[in-house]
Structure 1
Amino acid sequence: MKIFLLGIFLILCGTSARAKDKHYYIGIVETTWDYASDRGEKKLISVDKEQSNIYLQNGPNRIGRLYKKAIYLQYTDETFRTIIEKPVWLGFLGPIIKAETGDRVYVHFKNFASRPYTFHAHGMTYYKEHEGAIYPDNTTDFQKADDKVHPGEQYTYILHANPEQGPGKEDSNCVTRIYHSHIDAPKDIASGLIGPLIHCRKDSLDKEKEKNIDQEFVVMFSVVDENLSWYLEDNIKTYCSEPEKVEPDNEDFKESNRMYSVNGYSFGSLPGLSMCAEDRVKWYLFGMGNEIDVHAAFFHGQVLTNKNYRIDTINLFPATLFDAFMVAQNPGEWMLSCQNLNHLKAGLQAFFRVQDCKKTSSEDAIHGKHVRHYYIAAEEIIWNYAPSGIDTFTKENLTAPGSASEVFFTRGSTRIGGSYKKLVYREYKDASFTNRKERGPEEEHLGILGPVIWAEVGDTIRVTFRNKGAYPLSIEPTGVRVSKSQEGTYYASHYISSSENVPPSASHVAPKETFTYEWTVPKEVGPTYKDPVCLTKMYYSAVDPTKDIFTGLIGPMKICKKGSLLANGRLKDVDKEFYLFPTVFDENESLLLDDNIQMFTTEPNKVDKENEDFQESNKMHSMNGFMYGNQPGLNMCQGDSVVWYLFSAGNEVDVHGIYFSGNTYLSRGERRDTANLFPQTSLRLFMQPDTAGTFDVECLTTDHYTGGMKQKYTVNQCKQLNENSYLYLGERTYYIAAVEVEWDYSPSREWEKELHHSQERNVSNAFLDKGEFYIGSKYKKVVYRQFTDSTFQVPVQRKAKEEHLGILGPQLHADVGDKVNIVFKNTATRPYSIHAHGVKTESPTVIPTVPGETRTYVWKIPERSGAGIDDSPCIPWVYYSTVDQVKDLYSGLIGPLIVCRKPYLKVFNPIKNLEFSLLFLVFDENESWYLDDNIKTYSDHPEKVDKANDEFIESNKMHAINGRMFGNLQGLTMHVGDEVNWYLMGMGNEIDLHTVHFHGHNENKEANIFQKLKITERLLLQMKSFNSRSWVLHKDLIVCKTTAIKTLYYEEWY
């Protein structure tokens, strides 16, 4: 049987006579690591000495910049005596392992450390005995030998570079993969055990270097959490001068051990990133960490391409893998920084140098024949986040007692309220800056944003900037060519004496001064053949980006293909263009905070700026500076061609899911209705609204939604349209009820206990153990369940293939051209409804169904509800209750809707794939309608429960897949040879940023990690099963509590 399995395995791996056997000798050693080994003074962005000392300075109860770590090293041969030196820029990352498709890689592994570790690869194929990951997987004997390599022992891991794990048709020749130790992955990786693995197409390498590439670099963006390291106690004893006084659970101490770094180097200390101008450079990037690891890697002064799309900022999240190509331009020293503004302040910055090696320029010269001249001033205004004073969704006053808006809009002795003094960009007619350009009705929606700067390829942009504020300011653009002399931000990797430390004029325009910027738009920065006609970009003040942006200094840019714009800057063949900037404006970081305290609080001397409630009241969840439906100007006609330009800035809380109710859009050939945005992300969406009415555009991140990041857009019927011209030829009827149940997140604790035993961890579980007053694993919930008919007497029993759905409602199906009737009965004790994303309804209003009542909801499935040109044939949507969409969701009401292209297209793909729908969600039971019931029913001492207690609140956040934790989700069973569709769904809050890792398999994406399962994301993955065993599927975030988000999927022989 073993020989037969091996034969099948080799066939599927596409092994050929030309395949190579590659041998790597990898050892683990313990060493001392310095996060800031370059001790010279530097000029960094948004960083001061006090800030850097938090992380780098040791003391009585601070470790500082030196830590004991375990790292991977490469050796020349099996004697493990001679180390192969690696590039200095790799930092503490392990050596680069490279393979071409078809290769077999032998990793001869020796553990020189003081505790057991392993080697586990992503993006390669292996048998169970070469997995290098320990978890309860029903294996024994020789198949367990890889699970732990003890100190002094050796083991050889054999990996196969399967074609399906390698570059896809849209990928570059070589793609990013990773490897790490996987006994207790969060602690192993935090201890330093991670490295890059690069998988290349067959024959794309020449002497281990990708052909046609001059330089290659690997960078990991990570907040390395040394609190999770196996060596924390050693580091406290070694580097704290009074270790006995250290409190490991003290939040300030824990923050001091979170090292915001690139390859293990912080505060601009990463060495060796150097290249020549005109070099063809390949960047391999990945993120690692936990919920705060929301990274935006920004290459100052450069542009890159990925899969033939033009980019300059790359979003990285835990275990996301990315590669990008760059032709280096603009000689000088440039910054590679994380534009998550909190990370920027904490030192996540690195320098790279572009040298002038006298190579011939590859860019076409811009001779200034087509100049777009803008006159822009920064000036002070009083900005009201909600001018009407009304929440247009509830019709309540924004200061109504008990309302969600009261926190932000009540003005008082120590509260500012809803109006703030701000600095904004405004456009003028000429350099006298006396005649402001008034905004017309089509610009009304811009709100706090600066004017739109637009240009076509071949243009020169000239911006004359006048600083009417009281602080030095600048303008820093993205998406255009900027020389060092025109850069709007200032930094330097070396010490500059105070007498010489005069910032360039472009980066510090003094109050009352004027500076003229000049940027160019060569074709090398403009849209590619795959990009849309226009790219969404932004500009902002970058003297201190954190303070400047939160003060209000940001605006949109539009960079378009030659000849695509009208004389007024409008896109040809488009009826409407809208710009949306969703962000949490943190007024605590504003340059004008003290002014606002003095102007708007009635007792400014009593204000405590460090008070958490005061700080929360100043975090304004807005779009273009408007909250709770107060944004004007979002009007269009039914049938219009509408383009939405979305962009964002901020920090790790700025994880946005912008939902357009009532309509769908196309982006990069994919059909969606919810756009995911992160700091310095930008998107361009195309919509043709087909239903008249007023709809919501809102952020579905739950804290943002309740905090006011929601607006309304109106579709007017400007001309008579034949709405009945679309024929719905199919009709389906589903009988769905809302049913209250007792739900157990972890019916069995065996898998969890075995996991912890194998990891040598003896931990209680704050989420599942009841303790003195916690609730435990069981909760009263409400779920959608299917019935046979309108009597709702006989529930539809779930088949084996549906067992995996768990808490989810039934997996509903529809084809384009169908009309779906949902006969919904509410058997619960409070009002609920059922509403689906992506479908067309007769009215924007979803009517609640009261307890005991039955109501029919009709969902139409026109073409715009189906797959886009670059989608798979079937795409997933979600349905849920919208009476209170936050509480209803967390109470349990959610399910999948699968919409496929018209049935006749299926004759070309007659194979019926298995379908698994998975919801990755932290169920926040504190937000459930049934919290009080659950306390009374399941807490051993309900009278002792304090619902405001932080530990109690945390214990009710259930990290689950389909409502199950710790391997309790059943039914993920397939057979060797099956083709499987995985429909992955994400909903929830800021912490619901998931990366999903399938051990042992690939899917038809870039890696066996699905990168960025984001707020309200719905994605189809396709997989072919070929390896008969039990494998783990889990969320790849390095944080102890997320070990709950794990389950097994099984493969069997027919």
Structure 2
Amino acid sequence: MKLFFLSCLLVSCCCLAGAVNREYYIGIIETVWNYAPGNTNIVSGQLFAEEEQAGIFLKRGSHRIGSAYKKAVYTQYTNQLYDVIVDKPSWLGFLGPIIKGEVGDSIIIHLKNFASRSYTLHPHGVRYTKENEGAFYPDNTKDLQKRDDAVEPGGQYTYTWNVTEDQGPAKGDADCITRVYHSHIDAPRDVASGLVGPLIICRKDTMNKDSDRHFDAEFILMFSVMDENLSWYLEDNIRTYCSEPSKVDKDDEDFQESNKMHSINGYMYGYLPNLTMCVEDKVKWHLFGMGNEADIHSAYFHGQTLIERHHRVDTISLFPATFIDAVMIPRSPGEWLLSCQVNDHIEGGMQALFKVKDCRKSTTDHNESTKIRQYFIAAEEVIWNYGPSAVNHFTGRELITDSESHIFFEQSETRIGGSYKKAIYKEYTDGSFTEHKKRLAEEAHLGLLGPVIKAEVGDSIRVTFRNNASRPFSIQPHGVSYHKSDEGALYGAASRGTESPASHVSPGATFTYEWNVPEDVGPTDQDPDCLTWLYYSAVDAVRDTSSGLVGPLLVCRKGALLPSGKQKNVNMEFFLLATVFDENLSWYLDDNILMFTLNPNKIDKDDEDFQESNKMHSINGYMYGNQPGLEMCKGSVVSWHLMGLGSEVDIHGIYFSENTFVTKGTRRDTANLFPHTFLTAVMKPDSEGVFEVSCLTTDHYTGGMKQNYKVKQCHWWNVDLSMYLHEKTYYIAAVEVEWDYSPNRTWEFERHQYHEESPGNPFLNKDNKFIGSKYRKVVYREYTDQTFSTPKPRGEEQQHLEIQGPLLMSNIGDKIIVVFKNLASRPYSIHAHGVKTDSSVVAVTNPGETKMYVWKIPERSSSDRGDPHCIAWAYHSTVDIIKDTYSGLIGTLVVCHKHYLPSFHTKKKVQFALLFMVFDENESWYLDENIQTYSSNPHLVDKEDEEFLESNKMHAINGKVFGNLHGLTMHVGDEVSWYLMGMGNEVDIHTAHFHGHSFDYKVTGVYRADVFDLFPGTFQTVEMTPQNPGTWLLHCHVTDHIHAGMEATYMVLPKE
């Protein structure tokens, strides 16, 4: 079965030496779009009228718009008359037509605007000149070069883009890669109005009849919470669809929530049509995300696995402007669910069904397996204590009195405390379910996780499941193969028939699941020996997992496990589940209120403080250092199997202090996890002591998602013989300064002239109770010598660092000595990620004191086989890791391979270090001082006021907003390394997008992109050789962050 892209067949070709001009006639039209054109939830089989959750978004009313909205969409026409529309695949939804090109081609877009306001068309992943960019911002252009910036109603414009080698697929990429195009006058609002479409860029000679010649089917899906509150047509939609339009309050939170449409290509609750394929087809999926902070998506394909960037997956993480392509060869026929596994998004209807048909007589069932691995697992109700020692091991205080932890552990009239009734998976010795299988000492760390299920390629897994709980549960696995009759989730056509026993095991009942581990779900040649997955109960995926039903699953290469079940090449293995267990969503909330609160009648379940007290920021169900059993020997090989679960807040940067690990061929000390994503990380600890494993997302760190792991000297011969012969000394001080995030607002006002008022006003205007753009901060600054009398002036190449400390450079084998003087008014320190130190405790330097910090750079601080030559780490103060960082103490340390010295070839090497972070000044040590100094009426300030809190969140790149970051200057042909860094909180998902150029990044292979995803604890080197002179936009692609000023420009000058 071939699915040709009809939308491309009408491209006129002028062939010149193999290069093709691909012409498209595209109109922008206004139309009505229905996100769920029916009255039934196709996934659950229930009527929308009976589903409270779906009604929030779909029900029309006096103050509700419902499921249909006026939108603007890109539409393809056959020619310049714009009278005949070209058909497109029905599954594209409201996305624009598929635009495709091969390296060497030119793409010519004839755009005509039939809409009622100005729009443009701006592409990702092709080369364009200034007059073909289609993006409006202050870029030092005028006249003809500005005409592309806005196509007025009734107007026309022709854009010409070139598909160049440096924008096409890199060595590690597939033949065809995913990119997008969208309108870019006010990109967030234009996209929310509907103006976005797919752009597919291929290697030369790999397209066949306009589809990728190696595939039987191709699909393109956009996962996005379409925020209709941001649409230019909100007023129109209120007038048309609300029966009392004059009484609608656009600022009402419930009204706003009702307009956030959790959709795939504009369809919700299973309405996305015609995702059909055959068993054994080679299917290409192009996936991308768009939108805001809520747009963290875990796209989970039930019943199948895919290959994405040479790794085996069944869930793909997407963020605003993340572009992914993956390949699936479906083996199991049936109707399968494709769902975003983020809890809020499951409830919001971000789900579709794809059908795998048995078109040929299927090949024999590939289950010639020899070994059956048998497990006996029961769901049981227990009382689980998140802090069994009653102590916060990081402060030494009792959990109920400690300032950080008492919110979660206090038990009172209206608080549950730290113990909850939960349901967990427990292992038994046999099918009589009479004797629990005892956990070994090395399994003590598992906490509330179910037993570890392990299998090798070629095995079968047989799980006999007994439900000893009081409500129906199931077991649904990631990463293995199974028939529909063994699936632990119910949906689609099946939900309209009788309940299958696998997806709904009643209390007291037993069901035996059969799963297979064929070669095509096993690790790829670039994967570790064992892939980390999880299994969970999916009768109601949100409430069952919030209640505690989740466990780890390992799928290993053939021969990777010993007869005991341990991994061959590993000394210790640990399984960590990072999640904010939301007990408000547990089936047992009412039981817990009755059992543990002192006055159950007083409880208001909708009270925000009550809800917050039930959000347990835990690792394996433990908080504040209460997790037992994380002990290992120095020099041993430790395999960490990391798993994520939960909701939009579950953006985790799991940081292992004082050691590094390798994952996917790259060296890290922080692993980013999201709901239903998994990671295998291999570590060889080389320092003795007690270290921290914690989440760097600030609210999670404060909320208790931190534990201790212990490294012991088990063998006398395991000593470090590394020589650190090369010493480098830096003189660095902590200095208090007045910092201005926005010294000049000219760029901002020009950028946002289409707004009634600049979106920067809430952050930068002082009015009578806000602070404005200036704050007292503390920064790291370099000095010439130990007298600390002369600050070292910053050269032109360091000008862009702004708030960051000096850029520190080192090689393997270096010993870095930081002589640190604290010239500030409170205690601080300096400590780097990734380095080796002699003590697990970072010394505190009091005001006025000078101390020496020694960082060794062993092999394990440097790049691994899959990394670039130089990798970046952050350094910061650790006295109070959160407040110190928000107050301004952060910088970049770069570690290079020994032999990576600037060579004598003609290309000039240039480097830039960029920190993408929302500086939350409410968390700064200097907040009170800033209110007194900079607010016009300090006595009017209410520090708890929402508007005041928001006004102090500075969405900055290196501490500057709205184009105020300068010094990013390079020449055509330079070799540019960008060291990108993300830090911060739950809002700190940053998708850093470069206009005008793509860059290369390494994760074992070399890949190309023009957007890179950053989270708290992400440090990434990307490399670019600019070819395109001009002033180009560099910004975070997250909607709110664009409006809040996380934008800068970089300048490419003609070749020197």
Asked if these proteins are the same fold (TM beyond 0.5), I'd say yes
Corresponding residue for residue 159 of structure 2: 157
Query: What is the DSSP-based 3-state SS (H/G/I as helix, E as strand, rest coil) of the residue aligned with 1:1004?
Result: strand
CA positional deviation for 1:38: 3.7
Q: Read off the aligned partner of 1:259 and give its amino acid letter.
A: M
Corresponding residue for residue 903 of structure 1: 899
Map 1:181-580 onto structure 2 (within 5 A).
181-361=183-363, 365-400=366-401, 403-493=403-493, 496=496, 501-580=497-576
CA positional deviation for 1:367: 2.9
Residue 740 of structure 1 contacts residue 781 of structure 1 at CA under 8 Å; is this kept in 2?
A: yes
Residue 695 of structure 1 contacts residue 713 of structure 1 at CA under 8 Å; is this kept in 2?
A: yes
Q: Read off the aligned partner of 1:87 and give its amino acid letter.
A: P
The CA distance in 2 between the partners of 1:1010 and 1:42, in whole Å, is 34
1:776 paired with 2:772, answer: yes
Residue 760 of structure 2 contacts residue 1044 of structure 2 at CA under 8 Å; is this kept in 1?
A: no
Residue 319 of structure 1 contacts residue 1009 of structure 1 at CA under 8 Å; is this kept in 2?
A: no
Query: What is the DSSP-based 3-state SS (H/G/I as helix, E as strand, rest coil) of the residue aligned with 2:984?
Result: coil
Corresponding residue for residue 808 of structure 2: 812
The CA distance in 2 between the partners of 1:968 and 1:194, in whole Å, is 29
CA positional deviation for 1:40: 3.7
Residue 45 of structure 2 contacts residue 492 of structure 2 at CA under 8 Å; is this kept in 1?
A: no
Map 1:642-1041 onto structure 2 (within 5 A).
642-721=638-717, 723-757=719-753, 765-903=761-899, 912-1005=908-1001, 1006-1039=1007-1040
Corresponding residue for residue 37 of structure 1: 37
The CA distance in 2 between the partners of 1:677 and 1:492, in whole Å, is 29
Corresponding residue for residue 5 of structure 1: none
Residue 320 of structure 1 contacts residue 1009 of structure 1 at CA under 8 Å; is this kept in 2?
A: no
Return closer, same or farther for 1:904/1:897 CA change in 2, 3 Å cut-off. closer
Return closer, same or farther for 1:1040/1:394 CA change in 2, 3 Å cut-off. closer
Return closer, same or farther for 1:1019/1:626 CA change in 2, 3 Å cut-off. same
Please list every run of 5 or more consecutive structure 1 residues that lacks an aligned counterpart in the other structure: 1-14
CA positional deviation for 1:862: 0.3
Q: How well do the aligned residues superpose, as a CA RMSD in angstroms?
A: 1.5
Residue 759 of structure 2 contacts residue 1044 of structure 2 at CA under 8 Å; is this kept in 1?
A: no
Residue 42 of structure 1 contacts residue 494 of structure 1 at CA under 8 Å; is this kept in 2?
A: no
Cα deviation 1:532-572 (Å, max 9, x = unaligned): 10000000000001000010000000000001100121110
Residue 907 of structure 2 contacts residue 974 of structure 2 at CA under 8 Å; is this kept in 1?
A: no
Q: Read off the aligned partner of 1:396 and give its amino acid letter.
A: R
Cα deviation 1:731-773 (Å, max 9, x = unaligned): 1000000000000000001000111115665556100001110
Return closer, same or farther for 1:762/1:669 CA change in 2, 3 Å cut-off. closer
Return closer, same or farther for 1:812/1:909 CA change in 2, 3 Å cut-off. farther
Residue 118 of structure 2 contacts residue 150 of structure 2 at CA under 8 Å; is this kept in 1?
A: yes
Corresponding residue for residue 72 of structure 2: 70
Q: Read off the aligned partner of 2:1017 and give its amino acid letter.
A: T
Corresponding residue for residue 4 of structure 1: none
What is the TM-score normalised by the length of structure 2? 0.96
Corresponding residue for residue 8 of structure 2: none
Query: What is the DSSP-based 3-state SS (H/G/I as helix, E as strand, rest coil) of the residue aligned with 1:723?
Result: coil
Return closer, same or farther for 1:154/1:911 CA change in 2, 3 Å cut-off. closer
Corresponding residue for residue 1051 of structure 2: 1050
Return closer, same or farther for 1:170/1:443 CA change in 2, 3 Å cut-off. same
Residue 449 of structure 1 contacts residue 556 of structure 1 at CA under 8 Å; is this kept in 2?
A: yes
Return closer, same or farther for 1:904/1:811 CA change in 2, 3 Å cut-off. closer
Residue 34 of structure 1 contacts residue 67 of structure 1 at CA under 8 Å; is this kept in 2?
A: yes
Residue 123 of structure 2 contacts residue 180 of structure 2 at CA under 8 Å; is this kept in 1?
A: yes
The CA distance in 2 between the partners of 1:872 and 1:922, in whole Å, is 27
The CA distance in 1 between the partners of 2:578 and 2:204, in whole Å, is 44
CA positional deviation for 1:1007: 4.7
Greater mean alpha carbon deviation, residues 952-961 or residues 15-24: 15-24
Return closer, same or farther for 1:859/1:912 CA change in 2, 3 Å cut-off. farther
**Identity across aligned pairs (percent)?**
58
Q: Read off the aligned partner of 1:446 and give its amino acid letter.
A: L
Query: What is the DSSP-based 3-state SS (H/G/I as helix, E as strand, rest coil) of the residue aligned with 1:220?
Result: strand
The CA distance in 1 between the partners of 2:988 and 2:1026, in whole Å, is 28
Cα deviation 1:885-927 (Å, max 9, x = unaligned): 0000000000000000013676598855101000000000000
Corresponding residue for residue 3 of structure 1: none
CA positional deviation for 1:1027: 1.6
The CA distance in 2 between the partners of 1:559 and 1:764, in whole Å, is 50
CA positional deviation for 1:291: 0.4
Greater mean alpha carbon deviation, residues 45-54 or residues 925-934: 45-54
The CA distance in 2 between the partners of 1:295 and 1:445, in whole Å, is 29
Corresponding residue for residue 8 of structure 1: none
The CA distance in 2 between the partners of 1:495 and 1:534, in whole Å, is 34
The CA distance in 1 between the partners of 2:440 and 2:141, in whole Å, is 69
Greater mean alpha carbon deviation, residues 410-419 or residues 1039-1048: 1039-1048
The CA distance in 2 between the partners of 1:343 and 1:909, in whole Å, is 52
Residue 995 of structure 1 contacts residue 1009 of structure 1 at CA under 8 Å; is this kept in 2?
A: no
The CA distance in 1 between the partners of 2:935 and 2:751, in whole Å, is 27
CA positional deviation for 1:775: 0.3
Corresponding residue for residue 7 of structure 2: none
Map 1:568-647 onto structure 2 (within 5 A).
568-647=564-643
The CA distance in 1 between the partners of 2:958 and 2:45, in whole Å, is 42
Residue 214 of structure 1 contacts residue 281 of structure 1 at CA under 8 Å; is this kept in 2?
A: yes
What is the TM-score normalised by the length of structure 1? 0.97
Return closer, same or farther for 1:959/1:337 CA change in 2, 3 Å cut-off. same
The CA distance in 2 between the partners of 1:782 and 1:445, in whole Å, is 39
Greater mean alpha carbon deviation, residues 955-964 or residues 301-310: 301-310
Cα deviation 1:775-800 (Å, max 9, x = unaligned): 00000000000000000000000001
Residue 40 of structure 1 contacts residue 495 of structure 1 at CA under 8 Å; is this kept in 2?
A: no
Residue 414 of structure 1 contacts residue 607 of structure 1 at CA under 8 Å; is this kept in 2?
A: yes
Residue 775 of structure 1 contacts residue 938 of structure 1 at CA under 8 Å; is this kept in 2?
A: yes
Residue 576 of structure 2 contacts residue 640 of structure 2 at CA under 8 Å; is this kept in 1?
A: yes
Cα deviation 1:68-103 (Å, max 9, x = unaligned): 000000010111111001010000000000001110
CA positional deviation for 1:721: 3.5
The CA distance in 2 between the partners of 1:724 and 1:482, in whole Å, is 48
Cα deviation 1:458-508 (Å, max 9, x = unaligned): 000000000000010000000000110000000015883xxxx53100000
Return closer, same or farther for 1:960/1:843 CA change in 2, 3 Å cut-off. same
Q: Read off the aligned partner of 2:748 and give its amino acid letter.
A: E
Q: In structure 1, which of residues 111, 114, 120 is the aligned counterpart of residue 113 of structure 2? A: 111
Residue 836 of structure 1 contacts residue 877 of structure 1 at CA under 8 Å; is this kept in 2?
A: yes
Alignment length (residue pairs): 1034
The CA distance in 1 between the partners of 2:343 and 2:208, in whole Å, is 40
The CA distance in 1 between the partners of 2:898 and 2:263, in whole Å, is 49
Residue 288 of structure 1 contacts residue 318 of structure 1 at CA under 8 Å; is this kept in 2?
A: yes
Residue 583 of structure 1 contacts residue 621 of structure 1 at CA under 8 Å; is this kept in 2?
A: yes
Q: Read off the aligned partner of 2:307 and give its amino acid letter.
A: T
The CA distance in 2 between the partners of 1:339 and 1:708, in whole Å, is 24
Q: Read off the aligned partner of 2:1010 and give its amino acid letter.
A: I
Q: Read off the aligned partner of 2:1012 and give its amino acid letter.
A: Q
Cα deviation 1:640-694 (Å, max 9, x = unaligned): 0110000111011000000000100011111110000001110000100011111
